[in-house]
Amino acid sequence: SLPSYRGGNVNCEEFTAEGRRNNPNLMVKAYDQSAQTLNILRAFSTGGFADISRLQAWNLEFVEASDEESRYRKLAEKVDESLRFMKAIGIDTSKPEFTTGDFITAHECLLRPYTQALTREDSIT
């Protein structure tokens, strides 16, 4: 009997002794890809892309030519209208509450023993 498939970050689906052997290089590759993704998310969330006033400019490809597109556009128009009202009554919409966003990431709990060694406290936060 061979070891279980533990996911693409640990071993391979291939039902062979070699495929089911734990491969730390897969974890390193996943770590590198995750770090790149988090860097992109940080850049978007703090670099102006998350600015609520840019709601209409956010990627609409996911709803294009669907019933959701018109609902999304209507929601975006309501948000724009609300922002104009806030500005009219003196609210500063250039504050971080309106221009940045928080995000949360998680990992598969099955990989915890493998990822624990790579975990560090972010020096920025």
> In sequence order, what DSSP letters do the residues of 46-72 get, joined into one string?
HTTTT-GGGGGGS--TTTTTSHHHHHH
pLDDT tens digit string along 46-56?
877 788 888 77
DSSP secondary structure letters along 85-114 = HHHHTT--TTSHHHH---------GGGHHH
Predicted TM-score (pTM) of the model is 0.57
pLDDT tens digit string along 45-98?
887 778 888 877 776 666 777 777 778 888 888 999 999 999 999 999 999 888
Write the DSSP symbol of residue 118. Answer: G
The answer on pLDDT for 109 being more than 80 is: no
The answer on pLDDT for 107 being more than 70 is: no
